[in-house]
Amino acid sequence: MMEKIDPEGINKPVGSYVNVTRVSAKELIFVAGQIPVDKNGKMVGVVSDGGIGNRSYFDVEAQVRQTMLNVKGALEGVGSSFKDLVRLDTYVVVTVMNEYKRIGVRVKHDMLAGVRVSGATVYVSALQPSEAMIEISAIAAIG
């Protein structure tokens, strides 16, 4: 059994999260931090300018979408789904923070399709590998 609760006396959530999730479950599923790598191991959402500086630009929307697809695939691979999520933590490289707030949050919300989940968003200086601007870990409960 899972119950999503926004208790009286504390702030009301803005967006797709919920303040408290109470769970009675037979099984917990812990999904390791997923990054925007496709099934062939290729980093998604990295665009090189090809110039002298050989700088890369990041498509945050593509990175969030691929990362969420990886979380979804991990959950489905063990008979679970976004509906079973009890926690979703997102790590975002601070250099793309504004783009994540503008675009990434919406992409994540749309992919969750109305599922409200407890979690946190943390801004960090870097992730591994350095081309990853997003990492998402999850906990789900079934039964």
**pLDDT tens digits, one per residue of 50-91:** 655 566 789 999 999 999 999 999 999 999 999 999 999 999
pLDDT score at 6: 79
Structure-model confidence comparison of residues 91 and 8, the more confident one: 91
Per-residue confidence (pLDDT) for residue 13, from 0 to 100: 73
Give the confidence band of 102 by pLDDT, cuts at 50, 70, 90.
very high
Count structural domains, the chain. Answer: 1
- What's the CATH code of the domain at 134? 3.30.1330.40
pLDDT at 30 over 70: yes
Q: What is the pLDDT of residues 111-131, one digit of tens each?
A: 999 998 999 999 999 999 999
How far apart are alpha carbons 10 and 13 in whole angstroms?
9
Question: How far is the first Cα of the chain from the last one, in angstroms, to the nearest whole number?
Answer: 7
Binning pLDDT at 50, 70 and 90, where does residue 25 land? Answer: confident
Domain region containing 47: 2-142
Q: How confident is the model at residue 9 (pLDDT cuts 50, 70, 90)?
A: confident
Per DSSP, 36 falls in state S
- Reading the block at residue 72, the tokens are 């979804």
Closest residue by Cα to residue 66 from 138, 135, 139 = 135
